[in-house]
Structure 1
Amino acid sequence: MKVQIYTMQTPEEAVLAAAAGVDYLGVTPSNRGLPGEIDFATARSIVDALDGKAKRVALSVESDLGDIAAMVAAVRPDVLHLCGDISLVTPEQVGILRDRLKAVHPNLEILQAIPMTGPEALDHAAAFEAVSDLFILDSVAPHIGGIGAAGVTHDWSISREIVARSQRPVILAGGLNADNVGSAIAAVRPWGVDSLTHTNKPLDGGGFRKDIDKIAAFVKAAHAAA
């Protein structure tokens, strides 16, 4: 069972998270007010610090392909996590972006977020199958830009059906924590699980850092369930 954790904000906490057993570590290079976002230079420093320690994932909610490509060039992740509006970054657009990026970064993988808003998610996953290397099935919140960071679960029966139908590795996200990840794995049988909100340590005055103890507990629970 692969474990992915968002969102790293310093090289130090990223290295600690990797040491806790996390396989995929995410950064949010953005200036849109997203949870835990950081600038490109900080994201690159985290990616460099994690070399050989974990897979490095960079998230984008942008719809302009040039902006996404510029972020990848600056940050140099192993995995590009696309979680913007799928009506704007369509499968056709992702295909164009994929060809453009893989010409320069041949080992880059595309992690496509599927908004788990209802049965239509099955059709969305099918549409993105040919242009994605991995899927992440995530909840949506109206107050958060893009797909994810909602902190709530969704209908796992639909997620399970996507896992059954898809030829791509599937990461389950959305409201997961050490207490419910075992039930989620039993219900969905995903390739991996993801946590952001419920492995955070809130800071006085707003914002957060990662709680390494919560991350370690999440990793342990996920591995035990698998």
Structure 2
Amino acid sequence: MIVQIYTAQSAQEAIALVERGVDHVGLTPTTIGLPGQISETVAAEAVAALHGRGTSVALSVETDIQEIARMADAVRPDILHLCGEVGAVDVAAVRELRALLPAGMQVMQAIAVGAEGDLLLARAYAEVADFLILDSYTPDVQGVGAAGITHDWSRSAEIVATVDVPVILAGGLSAENVAAAIDAVRPWGVDSLTRTNRPLGEGRFEKDLDAVAAFVTAAASVPAR
């Protein structure tokens, strides 16, 4: 079971996550006010530090594929995570974007579970993305994800059963509920952001490394079917 943890805010924090058993380390290189955002320079430093130790993932909520490609080229993550507003970067645009990305960079597409047409969108994006991430949605945060709430896992299970690409389950997952989520959905991987944070006040946070380690242990506790 792959474990993905958002959002590291330094190269040192990224390495600390890998040392706790994390496989994919999520980064948020932007200046628009997203939770845990960092500069592209810091994100690129984290990517470099992770090379050979863990997989780097950088998200974008942008809609201009030229701007997305520019960020991807500056940061050079292993995986580009597209999580803008539902439908803002459609399937055709993702296909066009892939031609602009550095060689070998993979694409992860976010699907807002519970949004209208989520299953059809998942099937369509599975044709152009290397991974899907099934996440919750709230209008309080730009893009899909970082909502800190769970969604209908039965819907996620339906999506997992009908696509042919690896699927990561996200949305309000913690050490306390991740085993149940895995048992219900049977994804390829699981993701946590809000429930593995330690709040620092004024909207800031750092990763709670004990919570991360507990999440990794809980995810690994579910026997394979």
Structure-to-structure mapping, 1:101-116, within 5 angstroms: 101=101, 105-116=102-113
Q: Gaps (5+ residues) in structure 2? A: none
Residue 128 (structure 1) aligns with: 125
Measured after TM superposition, the shift of residue 121 of structure 1 is 1.1
Measured after TM superposition, the shift of residue 205 of structure 1 is 3.3
Per the normalisation by structure 1, the TM-score is 0.96
Q: Distance in 2 between matches of 1:33 and 1:116?
A: 23
Instruction: Among all aligned residue pairs of Structure 1 and Structure 2, give the percentage whose two residues are the same amino acid.
Output: 52
SS in 2 for 1:41: helix
Residue 170 (structure 2) aligns with: 173
Please point out which of 186, 199, 204 is paired with 2:201. 204
User: Are residue 222 (structure 1) and residue 215 (structure 2) matched?
Assistant: no
SS in 1 for 2:57: strand
Relative to structure 1, the CA distance from residue 66 to residue 119 in structure 2 (aligned partners, 3 Å threshold; closer, same or farther) is closer
Measured after TM superposition, the shift of residue 199 of structure 1 is 0.2
Contact 2:109 2:132 in 1 (8 A): yes
Q: Which amino acid aligns with 2:21?
A: G
Relative to structure 1, the CA distance from residue 89 to residue 118 in structure 2 (aligned partners, 3 Å threshold; closer, same or farther) is closer
Q: Which amino acid aligns with 1:83?
A: C
Structure-to-structure mapping, 1:70-149, within 5 angstroms: 70-101=70-101, 105-118=102-115, 120-149=117-146
Give the number of aligned pairs.
Answer: 223
Q: Distance in 2 between matches of 1:205 and 1:90?
A: 35
Per the normalisation by structure 2, the TM-score is 0.97
Contact 2:56 2:77 in 1 (8 A): yes
Q: Which amino acid aligns with 1:59?
A: L
Q: Distance in 1 between matches of 2:202 and 2:125?
A: 40
Q: Gaps (5+ residues) in structure 1? A: none
Contact 2:153 2:184 in 1 (8 A): yes
Residue 155 (structure 2) aligns with: 158
Q: Which amino acid aligns with 2:77?
A: P
Q: Distance in 2 between matches of 1:133 and 1:116?
A: 18
Q: Which amino acid aligns with 1:124?
A: L
Contact 1:118 1:158 in 2 (8 A): no
Residue 13 (structure 1) aligns with: 13
Measured after TM superposition, the shift of residue 118 of structure 1 is 4.4
